[in-house]
Amino acid sequence: MTDFPERVFSGMQATGNLHLGNYLGAMLNWLRMQETHDCIYCVVDLHAITVWQDPQALAGNIREVTAAYIACGLDPEKSIIFNQSQVSAHAELAWVFNCVARLGWLNRMTQFKEKAGKDRENASIGLFVYPNLMAADILAYRATHVPVGEDQKQHLELSRDIAQKFNNDFAASIAAHGHGEAFFPLPKPMITGPATRVMSLRDGTRKMSKSEPSEYSRIDMTDDADTIAQKFRKARTDPEPLPSEPDGLKDRPEAENLVGIYAALAGMTKADVLKEYGGAQFSAFKPALSDLAVARLAPISTEMTRLKSDPAHIDGILADGAARAEAIAKPVMDAVKDIVGLLRTR
């Protein structure tokens, strides 16, 4: 089997402010991987427009998410940071993948069903083929590792299926063009840590999400100390004290969620948290959780505000990142065209 050098790719949508789920489920792993791998972190603005975005707000949201990346600790010197629409290979490869992926595969995607809801006929085609664009994002860089939250697992599996089908369908052409047995790696999802699926603070069975109407369902990265404390105070819980072992969290989704959030913020396991807080009431645990969240998020929020006051600096980072990303993706896209048989005369 062809050996691919390890490379990390991941992205977040440019749909506004990030929340604690994005931070704990994805960003903490991005930061860890930045220390050991070549990483490409994208602000996925083409994904954002699969649902309506106000054109007057979109550019600001792209800068906002970029500022959040950097304020969280992504280093534009170490990692490539850019917005997706500035590198045309994403859209070009997505079209090729639209012709590789099968309708039946996309029909099984649960995120489309959730997001389209009852009004499926009125959903954009972009929303339906969103996973093909995600496969293109990753494979335009022949990335091998993709740190994401649990909710993206099914899309990652589809990316692997697309890569595999491309490698199979075009095997002879791939070999004839000197690329060996496989052109694309099968990217591995990296879904690790105690908070891979952060749940709504109002309902422990629903994912914490930007599109949830109630602001009390999520902690935004820019919430101030009072707001964070108030949201945790109002978070739904059950009347029992915390158990001393993780097994005791079974069938207690809200308790499990808060313990997972604490563990991820503190860099501990859930078992360690319960060693400390087993037997405690939520009235004691929630203030400790709020204090920890404020201590972790306040410096990020302050840094975001500072960065956002200088949009030209953010644009410079995105321009530099886009040029570095393009330098990797363009030759991959040229090779894909050769493999597929599309004529290149320049």
Q: What residue ranges bind ligand AQP (CB under 6 A)?
A: 12-13, 15, 19, 21-22, 25-26, 148-149, 151-152, 196-198, 207-211
Cβ atoms of 184 and 329 within 8 Å: the answer is no
In the set 207, 231, 270, 308, the catalytic residue is: 207
Q: Closer CB to ligand AQP, residue 325 or residue 339?
A: 325
Q: Closer CB to ligand AQP, residue 84 or residue 301?
A: 84
Sign of the dihedral through C-alpha 116, 121, 124, 130 = positive
CA–CA distance, 113 with 135 (Å, rounded to integer): 19
In the set 115, 153, 165, 188, the catalytic residue is: 115
Minimum separation from the CB atom of position 124 to ligand AQP (A):
14
Minimum separation from the CB atom of position 15 to ligand AQP (A):
5
CA–CA distance, 205 with 274 (Å, rounded to integer): 21
Q: Closer CB to ligand AQP, residue 32 or residue 165?
A: 32
Q: Closer CB to ligand AQP, residue 190 or residue 322?
A: 190
CA–CA distance, 246 with 312 (Å, rounded to integer): 48
Q: Closer CB to ligand AQP, residue 188 or residue 197?
A: 197
What single letter denotes the amino acid at residue 179?
H
Q: Find, among 157, 164, 158, the residue nearest to 184 by Cα.
A: 164
What lies within 8 Å, CB to CB, of 266 at 6+ separation is: 273, 292
CA–CA distance, 40 with 19 (Å, rounded to integer): 21
Tell me the three state secondary structure of residue 132.
helix
| Cα separation of the two ends of the chain | 32
Instruction: Find the residue with minimal CB distance to ligand AQP.
Output: 25
Catalytic residue status for 270:
no
Minimum separation from the CB atom of position 286 to ligand AQP (A):
19
What lies within 8 Å, CB to CB, of 31 at 6+ separation is: 72, 73, 74
CA within 13 Å, CB half, 103: 1
Catalytic residue status for 308:
no
Catalytic residue status for 337:
no
Minimum separation from the CB atom of position 34 to ligand AQP (A):
15
Q: Closer CB to ligand AQP, residue 52 or residue 121?
A: 52
Tell me the three state secondary structure of residue 208.
coil
Minimum separation from the CB atom of position 19 to ligand AQP (A):
6
Minimum separation from the CB atom of position 7 to ligand AQP (A):
17
The two three-digit tokens of residue 262, written as one number: 């604490």
Cβ atoms of 153 and 138 within 8 Å: the answer is no
What lies within 8 Å, CB to CB, of 246 at 6+ separation is: 270, 271, 274
Q: How far is the CA of 97 from the CAs of 26, 93, 129, 149, 172, in angstroms?
A: 25, 6, 9, 23, 18
In the set 153, 210, 330, 337, the catalytic residue is: 210
Q: Closer CB to ligand AQP, residue 48 or residue 182?
A: 48
Minimum separation from the CB atom of position 51 to ligand AQP (A):
7
Instruction: Give catalytic residues, as residue numbers.
Output: 115, 207, 210
